[in-house]
Structure 1
Amino acid sequence: MLRFFAPLIAPLVGLLFVCALLYAVIAAPSAPAAHLASEEFHLPPKDIHYSFEGPLGKYDNQQLQRGFQVYKEVCSACHSMRLVAFRDLEEIGFSKPEVKALAKGWATETPSVNPDTGEPATRKSLPSDFIPGPYANETAARAANNNALPPDMSLLAKAREGGPAYIASLVTGYADAKTFTKDGKSLMKEFPDFNTPTGLHFNPYFANLNIAMPPPLSADGQVTYADGTKATKLQMATDVSAFLMWAAEPKLENRHRTGLAVLAYLVIATLLAFGAYRNIWHGKKH
């Protein structure tokens, strides 16, 4: 009798195992999903209009120059732009003498080598140099920022979801977690245990609501614009985010022009092909 049932034992055990697994996956009650403050109270980027948006969009050089001024006077204290050279600034309207003066007067000198001793040294920057960062290396950057690493800003506008609007929203979005509300709901009432750890700052536009970067734009008029534009916090944020978009995609206008030329070519080619088709098959039966 055992010999008769022995070949069936292994398949039967396997079948029971599969049934138990299917029950665990399908039929068994699932645990409720975790309710997180970062999911309910995170805000999308503000609706900010930029001149370079859309297929016909173009950069506003005055805005880009203002944005560079905000980067120079505010952001460059912590953030580098190692992929942007000083001479690239000529593309946004700075003259060669202005670029030369900017490079020479930059707060951080360019790393170099002493030709006499071969030891590491620094020198005044040249227009051909990339914009030097504020720290010698990553270790120094972390040591100065509570172990947080300020990201390089060269490609930041393309690397972050939401692009320049996200950057502008983030730098103007700092708030008090104790009084913050969204859609009529209070953060502290919904999540009484929520807290902002020491060294971090509450910002609803940041993914987990707490960010290491302190508010970079503290008040209106923090920067005095050369063109007389009123430097509100939102204006400075919009200008610097537009400048970062140019830094990340300086050939955007060329791409727009190329795209329009290609579309025009395709429309003309389509019309010519259709005309040739009508001419060849005119009056002929299929």
Structure 2
Amino acid sequence: MLKLLRQSPLSARIGMGIVMLNILVALFAPLIAPYGETSVVGDVWESSSAKFYIGTDHLGRDLLTRMIYGGRNTIALAFITTAISFLLGSFLGFVSAVKGAWTDQLLSRAVDIIMAFPTLIFALMILSVLGSSIPTLIFTIAILDSTRVYRLSRAVAMDIEVMEFVEAARLRGEGLWWLIRHEILPNALPPLVAEFGLRFCFVFLFIASLSFLGLGLQPPLADWGGMVRENSGAITFGIFIPLIPAGAIAFLTVGVNLIVDWFLHLSSGLHE
């Protein structure tokens, strides 16, 4: 692993630096943040000063504190959601590829029906009915995103499933779970790891979009997408506070994509 990191290109190292910075800030948010997440400590939209490094928001809360806690909340929610969607989507994709026949048809048609609806509209409909609690938000996005993971994992597993070593395992009498765990999964990991990074970016942006529309993380919890919406009125007065959380979203997305590009290059088997 250390050898691999030493051989990584500059772009991947920059991406890892961006991601690690965000992770460290998220982990140590209570120690880094100068104020409480919901504390009103100044006037509305104060400019940067020694007391408020990047100013205050629309309620007079310290913007730096809100940015730190917003990153913690958004990144944690996106990671948990992406992990659940991958567990569900990859498992069903592998089962579909290995079992085939009616199992493959049933799962594939169910996924096609879900994917026929625009993702944002489907999510808005579900969240409007069930509410925007954190568990509902996580499982709604995870189920919708798992359909994309299912399509990829099924396609990768179907290529692996016809290999000779899988046929040999079948002839030995190995069962479904053994084939998935020992034959399919190890050979499918490289593209799935790269896809995990891409899906994290999509989920991260999707959560920010829902928060901007008012159906993501609910106040008083800090969230970068919600912070853009809450402070959007500042633009009218020439105050560019909404650009700070928007820039943080773009910054992290670019960092993850730089790492994903490196993983895709490694998994492709191509060399410079």
Indicate the structure with greater strand content: 1
TM-score by length of 1: 0.22
Structure with the higher fraction of residues in helix conformation: 2
Structure (1 or 2) with the larger CA radius of gyration = 1
